[in-house]
Amino acid sequence: MPEEQTPPEARLGREVARKAERKLRARRRGRHPLWFGLGMFGLIGWSVALPTVAGVSLGLWLDNRFAGPPSWTLTLLFIGVAIGCVNAWYWVRREARPRD
C-alpha cells in the first residue's frame, strides 16, 4: 500500500517502532568513552590543519617562484581551509550516522 494511502495510525506506529529500535540499539552500544571524543576532536583538528598548512606552503612556494599581483599564499590558504572544513564535515557526518 503506498504511503499516502496508509492510515495515519499505521504510519505513527511504524515511526514509534523505528525510534524505539534506534534507542535500544544506542543503549546496547553504550556511550562512547572519553578517549573516543578526544580522538575525534584530534581527527577533526588535523583534517582542517593539514590541508591549510599544505595550501600555505604551496602558496609561499608559488609566490617565491612566480611573483605577481595575485597572492598565491592567501588564495591557497582559503582553499586549504575550505577543503579542511569539508573533510571535517565528512568525518562528523560519518560518526553521527547510525550503524546497524
- For the question of whether the overall pTM of this predicted structure is more than 0.85, the answer is no
User: pLDDT category, 99, cuts 50, 70, 90?
Assistant: low
Q: Which of 53, 43, 97 is nearest to 77 (CA)?
A: 53
User: pLDDT category, 3, cuts 50, 70, 90?
Assistant: low
Per the model's pLDDT, the better-predicted residue between 36 and 66 turns out to be 66
Please give the DSSP secondary-structure letter assigned to residue 91.
H
Does pLDDT of 81 surpass 70? yes
Does pLDDT of 82 surpass 60? yes
Q: Letter for the amino acid at 50?
A: L
